[in-house]
C-alpha cells in the first residue's frame, strides 16, 4: 500500500525495468488498477504497512489474473 501511495504522488519509478522484463515474459502490472480504487486502503489489511491484500484487494487481483491467464491461453494455443 505504501508503494502505491508513493507512486500515486510521484509516478511510476520502475517503467524501464518492466519494459525490459516484458521482452522476456508475460507481465501484469496491477498498480494502475489498485491506484484507481476510491480508497486504496480498502484493498489492504489494516496494519502498519498495508503489506497484505484484504478480501476486496484479493477479489480485484484474482479477477485480473484470471482474465490475463485466459487471454494468454487463448492466444498461445
| CB distance 40 to 5 below 8 Å | yes
The span from the CA of 24 to the CA of 64, in Å, is 21
- Residue 76's pLDDT band, with cuts at 50, 70 and 90, is low
pLDDT in tens, 19-73: 999 999 888 999 999 999 998 889 998 877 667 999 999 999 999 999 999 998 8
- pLDDT exceeds cutoff 80 at 18: yes
The span from the CA of 49 to the CA of 3, in Å, is 10
DSSP state of 47: S
| CB distance 69 to 26 below 8 Å | no
Query: What pLDDT is stored for residue 50 in this prediction?
Result: 64
Amino acid at each position: 500500500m505504501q508503494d502505491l501511495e508513493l507512486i500515486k504522488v510521484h509516478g511510476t519509478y520502475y517503467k524501464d525495468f518492466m519494459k525490459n522484463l516484458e521482452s522476456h515474459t508475460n507481465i501484469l502490472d496491477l498498480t494502475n488498477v489498485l491506484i484507481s480504487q476510491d480508497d486504496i486502503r480498502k484493498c489492504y489489511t489494516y496494519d502498519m504497512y498495508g503489506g497484505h491484500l484484504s478480501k476486496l484487494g484479493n477479489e480485484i487481483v484474482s479477477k485480473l489474473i484470471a482474465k490475463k491467464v485466459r487471454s494468454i491461453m487463448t492466444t498461445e494455443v
